[in-house]
Structure formats: structure tokens, C-alpha cells
Amino acid sequence: MTSFGPARSFPATRLRRVRATDWRRRLIRETAVTADDLILPLFIIEGDNVTEPVTSLPGVSRLSIDRAVAVAREAHALGIPALALFPVTDKKLKNPQGSEALNPKNLLCRAVRAIKAEVPDIGLICDVALDPYTDHGHDGLFIDGDVANDATVEILVKQALILAEAGCDVVAPSDMMDGRIGAIRTALEKGGFVNTMILSYAVKYASAFYGPFRDAVGSQGALGAKGKHTYQMDAANVDEALREASTDVTEGADLIMVKPGMPYLDVIAAVKNEVNVPVLAYQVSGEYAMIAVAAAAGAFDRLAAFQESLLAFKRAGASAVLTYAALDIARALKK
Ligand code: PBG
């Protein structure tokens, strides 16, 4: 009941009127996806002029640094604000401590320096976690059957500083240790890296959807049945997601990530409602694979499905989305 009388029903109200033509639909659209919303993840490998397709991620390849620089140039030209870089570490360099993470000349640091030298205006985001470097595949030190929290945090702090020193703009702890955001923030301040942002993978679920990523970077290791359930979140929980997000904001995170994305749109909306920092979402490898593989099998149109999925993230409240389809979407937007 409004002050103008009883609510009108059909035929006074015909909702199809607002959908009848293209201009009407464009005029009333509540959400939009632009290139500004996209973050492109890249897998980096050793070598020169190497493009190595990832079998479980159709359309995605591991790239040598020179190829990554070329892609960075295209991404920048398309208006994509930032890249997220993931190293594929040589097996010989992996050990239980993940010590290659602290080598200032490791593959990731060299990639950061090369891209910053050639494409200085694209943002670079780097994971802070040990899984690309440990032979067991865990995100930290594996001691007595579990990942040791505090000892891992000490290493992550050093890893974050090395990445900041290399020129990484955004350090993104994806390890789910407690207390690491505060420790990293303190160290960055002390080191003079006052403008280095922290994107906390604050709400990261122990998910089956990371499978193709672990294939891409070779981090499946010997995770075993227990997987990462003692540090990554239980898929059943939302209240805990809100605690994780607000804790990390208090400790100094500039941006919060929810991951995976599409199966967790409710969590994105809830976290967005809880914290007053931008919330990012990760359309993770398994989500990408579901769409890419189904499209390749003729089930639906690839680009339309990706565009619709990105709109869903925006509707849920995400400020930006990490997606392996970022280039495809940005190219389509440019047309
Ligand atoms: C590692 C990390 C993972 C992803 C991003 N960073 C995998 C994991 O935690 O095992 C997954 C991304 C994807 O699936 O696309 N800390």
C-alpha cells in the first residue's frame, strides 16, 4: 500500500515493458562489468619464449618471463588494472622449508622486475605462501603432521618483504595462517614500504575447485587426504568468514578476498556487508575449467557464460575479480 492507493497489479504493472528494447535494458541496468574490474592471473615458468598450455585449464598457458611481459603489455592496453603472478618452481628447487621463497632472485621476483621495467603502470599482485616452493605442497612449514602457524608467519613476513623489494605492488597472503596480516603490515612499515598494499585472502575455503591450479604450478605435492583443512576454511561456514575478514582488516589489510567465487556468492555479499574495505573475489581454476570445458564441449557460448559469471560477482558486491578469462572479457569489452 503506497500513499497513492493500493499497489497496482497486472495489467497496470507489466514488467516486460522495461525489457522491451535494448535502450530500455541498458538504461536501467543495475550492475556493469568493465575492464577495471578484472585481474588476470599468470603462471610463470623458466625459459625463453615458452608458452606451455595447462591441460586442465583450456586456454591458459604457463609463460616464460618474456612472454608474460608481452601479455602484461596487452592487458595494460586493454585497461586491465592488475596481474596476479604465480611461479611454477622447478622441482629441484623445492624442499620441506620452501626456502626458494626467500631467494630475492627467484623466478617470481625476476618476473616482477621484468614486468615493472617494461609495463610500469600495471599493478602486480603476488601470493605470499610457501606452496609453490615446498615439496609437500603445503602453504607453510609442515611439522608433526600439521602446518606450524607461528613459525610459518615468520617466513611469510620475509617473503612479503622480498616481494615488496622486487617491486610487487600488492602482497597477497593466501596461506590462512593466523596473525600474518599484522606481522606483515608491521614489517612493511618498518621497511619503508608504506604504499605496498595487502590483499588478504582472508576468506579462503578448503576447496576442490583449486585442482587445476595445483596442476598448473605443480603444488599438489603429497597433500594427502587431510589436504589443507586445518588452515583453509570449512565450506559450511559463513560466520567464521566474517570473523576472518574483520580480523584481517583490523590487522591492516587494504583489500579482502573471498575464494572460491561463484559457489560462494552469498559469502561475498555477507563479507561486503561486514567490512568497509573493498572485497575481491577469485573465480578459481576449477570454476574457470567448468565453464571453459563445458563451452568447448558445445554446451553453451564461452564468452556469454564468462560475462554472465562476472556480472554475478559484481551483483554480489565484489569490487574486482581474479579470472583466467580476463583477457577474453576485456577484448570483448573493447569491441
Ligand atoms: C596457494 C594458492 C592456491 C590458489 C591460489 N593461491 C591453491 C591452494 O591453496 O592450494 C588457487 C587458485 C585457483 O585455483 O585458481 N596458496
- 70 is written with which cell numbers? 608481452
- Assess whether the C-beta atom of 285 lies below 6 angstroms from ligand 1: yes
Per-residue model confidence (pLDDT) at position 222: 76
Residue 287 C-alpha to ligand 1 middle, in angstroms? 12
Q: How far is the CA of 213 from the centre of ligand 1 (A)?
A: 6
Banded model confidence at residue 224, pLDDT cuts 50, 70, 90: confident
Cα-Cα-Cα-Cα dihedral sign, residues 176, 177, 178, 179: negative
Strands 142-143 and 146-147 turn out to be antiparallel
In angstroms, what is the span from residue 242 Cα to ligand 1's centroid?
Answer: 20
- Residue 213 Cβ contacting ligand 1 at under 6 Å: yes
Question: 29 CA distance to ligand 1 centroid (A)?
Answer: 33
Find out whether the beta carbon of 129 lies less than 6 Å from any atom of ligand 1. Answer: yes
Is the residue at 26 inside a domain? no
Does residue 12 belong to any structural domain of this protein?
A: no
pLDDT for residue 4 = 65
Q: Which residues of 45-55 are buried (b: 16+ CB within 10 A; e: fewer)?
A: beeeeeeeebe
Cβ–ligand 1 distance for 127 under 6 Å, the answer: yes
**Could you read off the pLDDT of 170-193 as tens digits, one per residue?**
999 999 999 999 999 999 999 999
Closest residue by Cα to atom 5, ligand 1, is 174
In a domain, 23, yes or no: no
Q: Which residues is 42 bridged to in the sheet?
A: 85
Q: Could you report the per-residue pLDDT of 81-135, keeping only the tens digit for each? A: 999 999 999 999 999 999 999 999 999 999 999 999 999 999 999 999 999 999 9
Query: To test the ligand 1 pocket, which listed residue (213, 230, 264, 283) has its Cβ within 8 A of the most ligand atoms?
Result: 213
120 in a structural domain: yes
pLDDT at 317: 98
> In the predicted model, is pLDDT for residue 1 greater than 70?
no
20 found inside a domain: no
Q: Which residue has the higher pLDDT, 226 or 47?
A: 47
**pLDDT above 70 covers what percent of the chain?**
98
Residue 271 domain-assigned (yes or no)? yes
Active-site residue, 190 included: no
pLDDT of 246-276, one tens digit each?
A: 999 999 999 999 999 999 999 999 999 999 9
Q: Whose CA is nearest to atom 7 of ligand 1?
A: 210
Print the domain residue range for 180: 32-334
pLDDT at 314: 98
Q: Which residues of 240-250 are buried (b: 16+ CB within 10 A; e: fewer)?
A: ebbebbbbbbe
Q: Considering the domain boundaries, does residue 25 fall inside one?
A: no
pLDDT, tens only, 41-75 = 999 999 999 999 999 999 999 999 999 999 999 99
131 C-beta closer than 6 A to ligand 1 = yes
> Higher confidence at residue 115 or residue 220?
115
The CATH number given to whatever domain includes residue 280 is 3.20.20.70
| Residue 255: per-residue pLDDT | 98
How many CB atoms lie under 10 A from the CB of residue 27? 9
Strand partners, 282: 322
Rounded CA-CA distance 278/185 in Å is 18
Q: Which residues contact 127 (CB under 8 A, 6 or more apart)?
A: 84, 86, 172, 173, 174
pTM of the model: 0.96
Residue to probe by mutation, ligand 1, list 136, 159, 174, 322, most atoms within 8 Å of CB: 174
Please compute the mean of the pLDDT values over residues 215-224 and round it to a whole number: 84
Cα–Cα distance for residue pair 203/280, rounded to 1 Å: 10
The mean pLDDT value for 28-34 works out to 97
Is 312 part of any domain? yes
Residues in the chain: 335
- For the chain, the average pLDDT equals 96
In whole angstroms, give the CA distance from residue 110 to residue 132.
15
Annotated active-site residue in 204, 228, 272, 314 = 204
- Give the Å distance between the CA of 123 and the centre of ligand 1: 20
Q: Is 259 among the catalytic positions?
A: yes
Count of structural domains within the chain: 1
